[in-house]
Amino acid sequence: MSTVITPPPLPSVPTDKTVKAKQADPPEVTLMQLTAIDEADSLGLPIPCRAFDPEVFFAETPADVEYAKSLCGTCPVKAACLTGAVERREPWGVWGGELFVQGVIVARKRPRGRPRKTEVMA
């Protein structure tokens, strides 16, 4: 007697059509973020805002803000985080690799005090 052994079915890989269909449906922002973070957690992907102290992402000095933005560079949920922050008009902090001040994305944080009148020699 010969026994035929069939391997288990492979998990389905999303096609371009299913990916576009998922992108076309705009889910609620908070649900989208939670789903993205949960999926990243279940896959074991590192999420910087969960691995580092949250105070890093609400820093006061320009150097610390740039450091927080650099941490977001490798985050797997960066796009969902930024989309959610824009939708909610986050008052301040680093979200999705961008700095928010009064609900608006700002290119960089200026240091405290008046700007210098002359250039500083490096």
Q: Would you say how long the chain is, in residues?
A: 122
Domains of the chain, by residue range, sit at 52-109
Residue 2: per-residue pLDDT: 59
Q: How far apart are CA 66 and CA 99, in angstroms?
A: 9
Tell me the binding residues: 49, 72, 75, 81
Q: Which of 122, 121, 113, 36 is nearest to 79 (CA)?
A: 36
Residue 12: per-residue pLDDT: 58
Residue 122: per-residue pLDDT: 58
Q: Provide the pairing of β-strand 98-101 with 104-106.
A: antiparallel
> How does DSSP classify residue 91?
S
Tell me the binding residues for [4Fe-4S] cluster: 49, 72, 75, 81
> How does DSSP classify residue 52?
S
Q: Write down the pTM of the prediction.
A: 0.58
The residue ranges of the chain whose pLDDT is under 50 are 18-29, 31
Q: Provide the pairing of β-strand 98-101 with 92-95.
A: antiparallel
Residue 29: per-residue pLDDT: 41
